[in-house]
Amino acid sequence: MPCDDLLCFSVWTSKRTLPSRRTRAGTALVTTMFDAISQEEALVTQGAEDLGVTPARSVLVVEDNPDGRESLRLLLELLGHHVDVAADGEEGVQKALASHPDIALVDIGLPRLDGYEVARQLRTALGPRVLLIAHTAYTAPEDRRRAREAGFDAFLAKPLDLTLLFPYLGGKGGRVRQRPR
């Protein structure tokens, strides 16, 4: 069954497609691997290694769209990261203050507190220790300026280009990229 407009993940090897099964995650279909395979066989894993992604970052995803939130959670976990999620800005601030994540990937258009206010509060409370990444469909120059002023370190437009996210997860050299300009 094709995914149509739903976000689906599949794991491929360089030689063959791995058997998979579909499971429900929120309302999105997510293709998950069920065969036990070695890490070097999975293109997702090998691709992350090729890009130098360092596993085991703690990442907080603050996203009000349940499908987007769950898809990001699953993808980041597949890459070896520890992931927590929040469905609105207020919950995101509470979880970040309790867990002190390495990275917060925050949508801008959130209920209760918008992403700008989430960034201001986290930057004030956690300082430069947390890497704040805006992940949003609001991509006008004014939105980028407001994100910078609110304290975001990076701005990634939706839909997410994974090659732009990987360096922030601890890319080449094993360090988390800080405050790019």
In a domain? residue 5: no
In a domain? residue 40: no
In a domain? residue 6: no
Q: Which of 94, 96, 57, 101 is nearest to 77 (CA)?
A: 57
- Region 54-59: mean pLDDT is 80
d(CA 129, CA 136): 22
pLDDT band at 97 (very low <50, low <70, confident <90, very high): very high
**What one-character-per-residue DSSP string does the chain give?**
---TTS-----B-SSSBPPEEEEEETTEEEEEE-S---GGG-HHHHHHHHTTPPS--EEEEE-S-HHHHHHHHHHHHHTT-EEEEESSHHHHHHHHHHH--SEEEE-SS-SSS-HHHHHHHHHHHHGGGSEEEEEES--SHHHHHHHHHHT-SEEEESSP-HHHHGGGGT-TTT----S--
Q: Which tokens is 46 given?
A: 């090998």
In a domain? residue 43: no
Give the tens place of pLDDT for each residue, 59-82: 999 999 999 999 999 999 988 899
In a domain? residue 8: no
Q: Which tokens is 145 given?
A: 């300026």
Is the separation of the CB atoms in 113 and 96 below 8 Å? no
| pLDDT for 33 beyond 50 | no
Give the tens place of pLDDT for each residue, 110-138: 999 999 999 999 999 999 999 999 999 99
> How many distinct structural domains can be found in the chain?
1
CA atoms within 13 A on the CB side of 161: 6
pTM: 0.69
CATH code of 73's domain: 3.40.50.2300
| pLDDT for 176 beyond 80 | no
The percent of residues in the chain predicted with pLDDT above 70, rounded, is: 64
Q: At CA 162, angle to CA 157 and CA 165, rounded to 5?
A: 70
In a domain? residue 23: no
> What pLDDT, on a 0 to 100 scale, did the predictor assign at position 56?
81
- Region 8-22: mean pLDDT is 35
- Residue 142: domain span: 52-169
> What pLDDT, on a 0 to 100 scale, did the predictor assign at position 170?
80
In a domain? residue 103: yes
> What pLDDT, on a 0 to 100 scale, did the predictor assign at position 172?
38
In a domain? residue 130: yes
